């Protein structure tokens, strides 16, 4: 009697596909890619790219877009 994996059409390929599905790895999403693209265009326009440290560009881009505001955490309750 053959093991169940050998009785399937392409046992090894199916097992490999299952492993890839079960052990999925994170991927970058479309929104993240768009924000990075917008941030780079913004940094080039401001003359920061490629001389400014990347972490500083991230913070300055967020401040310029209004995403970082003083005394605001995003967890406030609005009535």
Whether 42 is in a domain gets the answer: yes
Whether residue 70 lies inside any domain: the answer is no
| pLDDT over 60 (residue 59) | yes
| pLDDT score of 14 | 66
Closest CA to 11 of 33, 63, 19, 78: 19
**Domain contains 76:** no
The pLDDT-based confidence of 5 (bands split at 50, 70, 90) is: low
pLDDT score, position 29: 86
* Average pLDDT estimate for 44-57: 94
Q: Whole-prediction pTM value? A: 0.57
Report, as an integer, the average pLDDT of 28-32.
88
Domain that holds residue 30: 4-65
* Domain assignment of residue 11, yes or no: yes
How many structural domains does the chain have? Answer: 1
Residue 74 is assigned to a structural domain of this protein: no
pLDDT value, residue 73: 73
For the chain, the three-class secondary structure string (H helix, E strand, C coil) is: CCCHHHHCCCHHHHHHHHHHHHCCCCCCCHHHHHHHHHHHHHHHHHCCCCCCCHHHHHHHHHHHHCCCCCCCCCCCCCC
């Amino acid at each position: 009697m053959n093991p169940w994996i050998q009785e399937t059409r392409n046992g090894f390929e199916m097992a490999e596909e299952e492993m890839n599905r079960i052990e999925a790895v994170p991927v970058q999403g479309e929104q993240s890619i768009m924000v990075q693209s917008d941030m780079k265009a913004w940094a080039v326009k401001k003359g920061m790219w490629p001389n400014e440290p990347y972490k500083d560009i991230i913070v300055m881009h967020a401040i310029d877009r209004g995403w970082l505001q003083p005394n605001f955490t995003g967890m406030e309750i609005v009535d």
